[in-house]
Amino acid sequence: MDLRFTPEENKFREELRTFFTTEIPASIREKVAIGEHLSKDDMVLAQKTLAKKGWAAPHWPKEYGGTDWTPIQRHIYTEELQACSVPQPLAFNVSMCGPVIIAFGTEAQKKRYLKGMYDLSEWWCQGFSEPGAGSDLASLKTTAVKKDGHYIINGQKTWTTLAQYADWCFVLARTDPDAKKQLGISFILVDMKTPGITVRPIQTIDGGHEVNEVFFDDVKVPLENLVGQENRGWDCAKYLLGNERVGIARIGMSKQRLSRVKQLAGKVMNGDRSLMEDSRFAEKVAAVEVELKALEMTQLRVLAEDAKRRSNMPNPASSILKIKGSEIQQATTELLMEVAGPLALPFLPDEADFGSGDHWAAPAAPAYFNFRKVSIYGGSNEIQRNIIAKAVLGF
Amino acid sequence: MDFDLSDDQRQIKDSVDRMLADAYADLKTKAAAQKEPLGFSKAMWAKYAELGLLGIPFAEADGGLGAGPLETMLVMEAIGRNAAIEPYLSTVVLGGGVLRHAGSAAQKAALIPDVVAGTRRLALAYQERQSRFDLADVTTKARSDDAGGYVLDGEKVVVLGGDSADTLIVVARMSGNRRDRSGLGLFLIGGTAAGVQRTGYATQDGQRAADIKLTNVKVGAEDVLIGKTGDGLAVLERVVDEAIAAIAAEAVGAMSSLHDLTVDYVKTRKQFGVAIGSFQVIQHRCVDMFTALEQARSMAYYATVMASETDAMERRRAVSAAKVQIGKSARFVGEQAIQMHGGIGMTMEYKAGHYFKRLTMIELAFGNTDHHLSLVAKAGGLIAPAA
């Protein structure tokens, strides 16, 4: 047992850090650091920069632009990316739909879509959740009916993240209304410019516009946009949700947030001492740091095991990463809001309104509100517990 | 980065696992051992020696196995998994630790072979009634006899394994005030030396300890481990850090048994015509226990690796962080296990309570969760503030 990184791994980390901090504009990274919303241009610029270097999707096979990095190197990549506050490559492209196309798609689909996913020249969104299908995703009702060489899609999707920017949507739709639940679902790629699609923004409690409702009204989609077999879309969905675990613990991001919390709490005064010198607050921070260290070690254990198993099945213990990782992320936003104190109150959705002195404080409360989502999306923490109960504990 | 065991390590793990699983299969055997004069089975202790477990951390030149914290972790985890009561922690980890770090060649040669053979048990007498978790809070006095030896006076409390140890290692103050970090010495004395008055008792977790009164106890020059230099505290801190790593592994063993026991129990216990494990409220609690256990396991590894870190500041910070996680997880897993077992968890006839009691004492040992959280915070935490 040796828990140290090798000198080569440390050198690799240095190389990444140098690239991230010199090639990704500081203004963008600062926004990520304080939890401010990014513009579409910010995200596209960051991903294009990574893509040019060949680092936009390290977990993809090399022939599609991925790398042959070891699981540990990939872990270091994710950690450094987050530690340097680089915007993550769009998950819908590189972590969700991309791997599905690689695993289930035809050669023509790979040729047509992967490059655009990789460098974000095409923006993808996820058409999974519906008003009546959240944790119970397989109860979805959107239909795709075959007619005259097309699928005709009707229904409503919701919580569709950044659909307002999207060129494409990967949709789960029911293609066999008589089959039971999971069995009659297909995975279909839909061009967002197709007539019949309406995107309606949802304003969330942080004041932001991140998610949308998407309505499909007789939307005509070519049959060749089916991925995998008809009625076997659930296989794609399961595969996708398994892949979503990559980096889900967001350990690097939480580390960065905590270092920011400590920096700011060292400046904010609480009576005649800094907040960081207040033992109650310092111990609250330390408690989160301990949890985070434990989670980091857990993540490394999962990685080491995955590397040995060489299996495609995600390790069920990785559900722990989602549960604890989300709790810790939420704790960091809570601490930052606590540091901001009364300065967290002003509601200034526009960056221009931030003012000069308390630039960092304005997004503190919105970030806290926004991060309530991390224990809900990608399989809520209660669903994660169900998964562990079944897969690990054998209930 | 690799979490694998070597062949030798696997062999140690298999042999200690097998030995303890056999010995502790039946709680009646444990109860009988507790009634023996030593409060544990002498025959079992001989088996530890036979398997070479008592020699693990000592250098080969001193008659040991020349293994390290990882091998100690494997033994301690097995001890935890079986709620075993033999004084491995007091003799090998605590007493042995001081010998390793502070013993002269002659002292090591005089003591270690017997320890390894199982014919000499050690105890580390450092705690006093007023000291709580402060290792420097020592009032027991060591007066120089001007011939290189010392005379000890004072009282030590809750000395683990101290009731029957053959050799006691005493922390005593040679100079300075009560909580001064300098001026502490370490001394070897016989368990039955003149002026040593021991009051032995059982501890909450079924092990043994003693309060020890020292009146005019003479220590010859050859039995002084740390004298004039007065830097006994550094050795004590190092040994206690190693002990925390060891009980972290023990706690992981105990938690994993308790977790398995609980999951098995709720799958078979029927109420309202169904196994109570079919209720989601029970399943989710089991998952939370599992999470607490795995987080603790991660930090036990971390402590094991960091216990031999040469930078004392880094070592202390890491070990304290581990103790925080262990303490939190131990409390949570223990309480949940008893709750989910219901009435049966309250009885001494069932194993769950044994694990729970040991875990509860581990939380209190060598500084509780709050104490170590405060140390982590005072040391500036684990993550540097942004520049």
Q: Which pLDDT value is given to residue A313?
A: 56
Extents of the domains making up chain B: 7-120, 123-230, 234-378
Q: How far is B297 from chain A (nearest CA, A)?
A: 8
Residue from the list A2, A279, A388 with its beta carbon closest to the beta carbon of B290: A388
Residue A119 falls inside a structural domain: no
Q: Are B139 and B154 in contact (CB under 8 A)?
A: yes
In the structure encoding, which two tokens stand for residue A248, read together? 């889900």
Q: Range of A19's domain?
A: 7-89
Q: How far is B70 from chain A (nearest CA, A)?
A: 8
Phi, psi (rounded to 5 degrees) for A70: -75, 165
pLDDT band at A246, cuts 50/70/90?
low
Distance CA(B194)–CA(B202), nearest Å, equals 24
Q: Mean pLDDT, to the nearest integer, of A159-166?
A: 97
Q: Say yes or no: A357 and A252 in one domain.
A: yes
Would you give the distance in Å from CA A238 to the centre of its chain? 16
Q: Which of B196, B187, B142 is nearest to B169 (CA)?
A: B187
Q: Give the count of domains, chain A.
A: 3
Q: Say yes or no: A232 and A268 in one domain.
A: no
Q: Say yes or no: A145 and A79 in one domain.
A: no
Q: Which pLDDT value is given to residue B92?
A: 98
**What is the second-level CATH architecture of the domain B234-378?**
Up-down Bundle (1.20)
Contact between A285 and B381 using a beta-carbon 8 Å cutoff:
yes
Q: Which pLDDT value is given to residue A319?
A: 79
Burial (Cβ within 10 Å: 0-12, 13-18, ≥19) of residue B350: middle
Report pLDDT digits (tens) over B113-163.
999 999 999 999 999 999 999 999 999 999 999 999 999 999 999 999 999
Q: What is the CATH number of the domain that holds A250?
A: 1.20.140.10
Q: Say yes or no: A225 and A257 in one domain.
A: no
Q: How far is B183 from chain A (nearest CA, A)?
A: 30
Q: Which pLDDT value is given to residue A119?
A: 97
Which DSSP string do the residues of B166-219 spell out, in sequence order?
SEEEEEEESSS-TT-SSSEEEEEEETT-TTEEEEEEE-TTS-EEEEEEEEEEEE
Q: Are B338 and B258 in contact (CB under 8 A)?
A: no
Distance CA(B24)–CA(B30), nearest Å, equals 6
SS3 (DSSP) at A273: strand
> Is any Cβ of chain A less than 8 angstroms from the Cβ of B83?
no
Q: Are B255 and B239 in contact (CB under 8 A)?
A: no
Q: Say yes or no: A233 and A250 in one domain.
A: no
Give the count of alpha carbons within 13 A of A248, CB side only: 30
Q: Which pLDDT value is given to residue A311?
A: 54
SS3 (DSSP) at B231: strand
Strands, DSSP E only, in A164-285? 168-174, 185-191, 197-202, 211-222, 226-227, 269-270, 273-274
Which DSSP string do the residues of B21-76 spell out, in sequence order?
HHHTSSHHHHHHHHTSTTSS-HHHHHHHHHTTGGGTTS-GGGTS----HHHHHHHH
pLDDT band at A103, cuts 50/70/90?
very high
Q: Are A355 and A307 in contact (CB under 8 A)?
A: no
Residue from the list B267, B377, B386 with its beta carbon closest to the beta carbon of A279: B377
Residue A77 falls inside a structural domain: yes
Q: Which of B363, B355, B323, B7 is nearest to A286 (CA)?
A: B323
This complex has an ipTM of 0.95
Regions in chain B scoring below 70 on pLDDT: none
Give me the residue label for tokens 């098995």: B264
> Is any Cβ of chain A less than 8 angstroms from the Cβ of B146?
no
Phi, psi (rounded to 5 degrees) for B158: 45, 55
Q: Which residues of A touch B382 (CB under 8 A)?
A: 286, 289-290, 292-293
pLDDT band at A307, cuts 50/70/90?
confident
- Helices of type H across A232-278: 233-243, 251-265
Locate the chain A residue with the closest alpha carbon to B259.
A393
Q: Are B256 and B290 in contact (CB under 8 A)?
A: no
Residues 6+ apart with CB under 8 A from B74: B5, B9, B12, B13, B16, B249
In the structure encoding, which two tokens stand for residue A316, read together? 């069920």
* Beta pairing class for A124-127 and A168-174: parallel
> Is any Cβ of chain A less than 8 angstroms from the Cβ of B272?
no
pLDDT band at A110, cuts 50/70/90?
very high
Contact between A259 and B382 using a beta-carbon 8 Å cutoff:
no
Distance CA(A81)–CA(A222), nearest Å, equals 38
Fold for the domain defined by B7-120: Butyryl-Coa Dehydrogenase, subunit A; domain 1 (1.10.540)
Distance CA(B145)–CA(B138), nearest Å, equals 20
Report pLDDT digits (tens) over A344-393.
998 887 765 655 556 788 889 999 999 999 999 988 999 999 999 998 88
Which of these three, A240, A255, A285, is where a domain ends?
A240
| Residue A299 or A167, more confident | A167
Which of these three, A73, A89, A105, is where a domain ends?
A89
Distance CA(A355)–CA(B231), nearest Å, equals 55
Mean pLDDT computed over every residue of chain A: 92
Distance CA(B39)–CA(B300), nearest Å, equals 28
The verdict on domain B123-230 having CATH code 2.40.110.10 is yes
Residue A54 falls inside a structural domain: yes
Q: Say yes or no: A254 and A387 in one domain.
A: yes
Give me the residue label for tokens 């140390």: B375
Distance CA(B98)–CA(B91), nearest Å, equals 10
In the structure encoding, which two tokens stand for residue A204, read together? 């969330």
> Is any Cβ of chain A less than 8 angstroms from the Cβ of B302?
yes
Residue B146, sorted as left (phi over 0), alpha (psi -120 to 50) or beta, turns out to be left
pLDDT band at A312, cuts 50/70/90?
low
Residue from the list B321, B373, B383 with its beta carbon closest to the beta carbon of A258: B383
Q: Which pLDDT value is given to residue A294?
A: 97
Contact between A301 and B290 using a beta-carbon 8 Å cutoff:
no
Which of these three, A220, A240, A260, is where a domain ends?
A240
Report pLDDT digits (tens) over B204-246.
999 999 999 999 999 999 999 999 999 999 999 999 999 999 9
pLDDT band at A16, cuts 50/70/90?
very high
Best B291, B316, B323 residue to mutate vs chain A (most A CBs within 10 Å): B291
Q: Say yes or no: A310 and A373 in one domain.
A: yes
Q: Which residues of B touch A33 (CB under 8 A)?
A: 386
Give me the residue label for tokens 């991309």: A98
Best B298, B332, B375, B378 residue to mutate vs chain A (most A CBs within 10 Å): B298
Distance CA(B269)–CA(A235), nearest Å, equals 36
Residue A28 falls inside a structural domain: yes
Question: With the C-alpha atoms ordered B367, B369, B374, B375, is the resulting torsion angle positive or negative?
Answer: positive
Residue A178, sorted as left (phi over 0), alpha (psi -120 to 50) or beta, turns out to be alpha
Residue from the list A2, A262, A305 with its beta carbon closest to the beta carbon of B385: A262
Q: Say yes or no: A259 and A365 in one domain.
A: yes
Q: Which pLDDT value is given to residue A316?
A: 64
